[in-house]
Amino acid sequence: MTHPQRDTIYFDFVSQPSRAVVLFIRCTALPIKEQVTSLGRKTQRSKEYLTMDPLGKVPCLQEEDGFVLPESCAILRYLAQRHKVADHWYPADLRHRANVDAALDWHHWSMRRGAAGQVWNRVLAPMSGQKSSEEVAEGAVGILEQSLQDLEHYWLASTPFVAGNDISIADLIIIMELTQLQMLEGALQGPSMEQQLAPFGKVGAWMRRTQAETEPHFSAVHQMLQRATKNAIKWKGSMGGRSKL
């Protein structure tokens, strides 16, 4: 792991930032080896992984010469600049690029908190017997609602993609927070993905547009999430309607 034969991305498809990075790599056909790091098996906590990435998170990029880069947004920016990818992914124009950066920064403290806060506390933590908080999940519903308002009325107010007329790395990172909400179908309480997205027509159209623009890779990186959703629904059934939350 410390000296890969070629540039390698460590990831798990159940992780939203991982899916965004792998989707970008596939859409731009970058010569990067994909290495699954199973969060379920806690591979990110193994001694070998921590030697490479002491933060113990996915995604993480390791280049052939040993250079290591954590953090999805940094990885996306770096790869877009290091490799010759089409300009729309991370535009050279300073102000256009600044808009992409603004959307990337915005997503972390808004959309990600709102979506991941619900999925973790209502599905993943209870399913894996870890501590969850209904109070945090409830707060996350409000954060997501505000984030969707911002997406609808600011980021998508007058353009088909969040930072302009073409797809960029910001669209990839933001949409992954929303697609993980499908796991809420396995939740024992709280609103579903459909219920939360229903009032936001522009967001729905943008999701369909972003998916269409990135197929067939979009569906491929979501296969695992669909399996995880099915497992969550089975788990919900096995709880016989009893709420553990």
Ligand X SMILES: N[C@@H](CCC(=O)N[C@@H](CS)C(=O)NCC(=O)O)C(=O)O
Report the DSSP pairing between strands 60-62 and 68-70.
antiparallel
> Could you give phi then psi for residue 183, rounded to 5 degrees?
-65, -15
Q: Which of residues 62-91 bind ligand X (CB under 6 A)?
A: 71-72
Paired tokens of 41:
């098996």
- Using CB under 6 A as the binding rule, whether residue 139 contacts ligand X is answered as no
CB of 238 to ligand X, least distance (A): 25
- Using CB under 6 A as the binding rule, whether residue 57 contacts ligand X is answered as yes
| Residue of 22, 25, 27, 39 that binds ligand X (CB under 6 A) | 39
Whole-number Å distance between alpha carbons of 158 and 148? 15
Is residue 222 within 8 A of residue 176, CB to CB? The reply is: no
CB of 37 to ligand X, least distance (A): 8
> Which of 39/100 has CB closer to ligand X?
39
DSSP conformational letter for 43: G
- Using CB under 6 A as the binding rule, whether residue 19 contacts ligand X is answered as no
| Residue of 4, 56, 139, 204 that binds ligand X (CB under 6 A) | 56
> Which of 118/200 has CB closer to ligand X?
118
- Using CB under 6 A as the binding rule, whether residue 9 contacts ligand X is answered as no
Residues 6+ apart with CB under 8 A from 35: 8, 9, 10, 11
The Cα-based distances of 65 to 3, 6, 85, 108 in angstroms read 7, 8, 22, 30
- Segment lying near ligand X (by CB under 6 A), choices 11-19, 91-99, 218-226, 229-237: 11-19
| Residue of 17, 91, 114, 164 that binds ligand X (CB under 6 A) | 17
CB of 224 to ligand X, least distance (A): 13
- Using CB under 6 A as the binding rule, whether residue 15 contacts ligand X is answered as yes
CB of 62 to ligand X, least distance (A): 14
Residues 6+ apart with CB under 8 A from 177: 16, 107, 111, 112, 114, 115, 116
Chain positions contacting ligand X, by CB under 6 A: 15-17, 39, 44, 56-59, 71-72
